Chain A
Amino acid sequence: MGYLKRKHWWPFIVGILFALVELLSFYLSKRPLGSSRGYAVIGSIIEYVLFPEHAKTVSYWSAYEPAIEWTVAVLVGIVSGSMFSSVYSGEFKFHVVPQMWKTCKGPSVSKRLFWAFIGGVMIGFGSRLAMGCTLGMLISGVIQLTPAGFIFMMSLWMGGMLMTVLFYNLKTVTFHRG
């Protein structure tokens, strides 16, 4: 258990363990890993609870029925597993503004939360448009040798680099590493 107490593991080992988790998901649950579907199901549940008549008319929710299912359980599992690991190694700490954001965008809390929400909306829309997120489309797609995963990988990199140049405008170089 001493190995679990370390702050971080070597990236190569982490990669192999990640691949084993992916294999476990294929074997145990008979479906590839994926997390963004869980958010869509949560959205479907919210609409069903608040406006049940309106939710029936939306055709997209027919594929995402309002029921707590496997992908939501994965999200709960990720949160609990990460909390267990960080508490066990003594790294758990409540914080709002990350260090790197502070150095180039200022320590304002409301600004960080606003941009986090806007980025989240873009991520949600983009992941529904691409039919998967980094876990469900990029990793699960590439390891099954589908063109979808490779296309998504390249376009994600393009969009991320472009937005970093536009949003953080490159003059603010941060001499800091997480």
Chain B
Amino acid sequence: MDAMLMRLKDTFDPSTIEAIKGPASLYGGLIVGFLLGIVLQKGRLGKYDVVSGMFRMQDFTFWRVGTPLLMFGMVFIYFFKDIGVVELYLPRTVILNQLFGGVLFGAGLAIAGYCPAIAACALGEGAIDAFVTMAGIVGGSILYAEMYDGSKLDRIVSFIDLGRVTFPEIFLVFNHWFFIMAFVFMCAMFLLGISMYDEFLRASFALIDKVGEKLGSAKTVIVERRKQKR
């Protein structure tokens, strides 16, 4: 037991809480996470009903948040990169890994209703099942490391590795702002349409709720009358 506590103490490195800047600093992570938690909660994103409603095509809050996020994020990042304030940190593109991983991730998202960041946000709102989902995510990570990593299947699936590339590099476009312009224009049109459709859905669901309440109360009245007759 004491050895376990000693090892737990080993995992904390005091030098990580000295500075705010830098990729290893804990304070930086706390600040970014705190702001992200507020934004996620105020956007109503940390709810099972909203995530599951997205896949049931009756709640498009995620798309209405995600579209401006992608277009403004892209403009900000590339603008500040051109100025020289920030750098890009590209993820590796391994086609089959991302394809199968995305399908599995989406299937889990449809069942559990929480993705890794949303689960933390939902736990902050008081959802107990989000904590179970977080435990499941840790379990899935351990399962991957123990069973899958380095196996024959892993080597076959991760064979098509493009490395750290971007679309402007792949298509040999001399300026990345052509891609950003096209993406932002598409996103603006899409956002307009999806926002109008979402408002329409909200109004119609409010109407259904109102009618449903009246029907429900009428139903209980009828049931009570039947009981009285008997």
Contact = CB atoms under 8 A, between A and B. Distances in A.
Contacts of B102: 126, 130, 151-156, 158-159
Given A81-B33, A123-B136, A162-B107, A139 B73 contact: yes
Contacts of B135: 117, 120
Interface in B47-86: 47-50, 52-56, 58-59, 61, 64-70, 72-74, 76-78, 80, 85-86
Given A16-B68, A119-B108, A123-B109, A149 B28 contact: no
Interface string A128-161: 1111111111011111111111011111111111
A172 to B, nearest CB: 10
A144 to B, nearest CB: 5
A132 to B, nearest CB: 6
Contacts of B35: 21, 24, 77, 81
Interface string B195-219: 1000001100100110010000000
Nearest to A160: B106
B116 A48 contact: no
A67 to B, nearest CB: 5
A127 B116 contact: yes
A116 B95 CA distance: 28
Given A20-B76, A79-B123, A174-B56, A112 B129 contact: yes
Contacts of A67: 11-13
A8 to B, nearest CB: 5
Contact of B49 (A48, A98, A142): A98
Contact of B129 (A14, A93, A96): A96
Interface in B25-41: 25-41
B221 interface: no
A59 B144 CA distance: 11
Most buried by A among B87, B88, B91: B91
Contacts of A124: 108, 136-141, 143-144
B44 A178 contact: yes
Contacts of A129: 97, 100-101, 104, 144, 148
Contacts, number: 544
Interface residues of A, number: 135
Nearest to B212: A175
Contacts of A15: 43, 64-69, 72
A82 B129 contact: no
Contact of B136 (A30, A38, A59, A119): A119
Given A30-B22, A99-B49, A148-B98, A133 B42 contact: no
A9 to B, nearest CB: 5
A27 B32 contact: no
Nearest to A153: B102
Interface string B124-151: 1111111011111111111111101110
A76 B85 CA distance: 27
Interface of A: 4, 6, 8-9, 11-12, 14-33, 35-36, 38-40, 42-50, 52, 58-61, 64, 66-86, 91-101, 112-113, 115-137, 139-149, 151-164, 167-168, 174-178
Given A25-B32, A124-B140, 8 more contacts: A15-B69, A18-B73, A30-B22, A38-B116, A116-B133, A119-B113, A124-B141, A127-B101
Interface of B: 4, 7-8, 10-13, 16, 20-50, 52-56, 58-59, 61, 64-70, 72-74, 76-78, 80, 85-95, 97-130, 132-146, 148-150, 162, 164-168, 170, 176, 179-180, 183, 191, 195, 201-202, 205, 208-209, 212
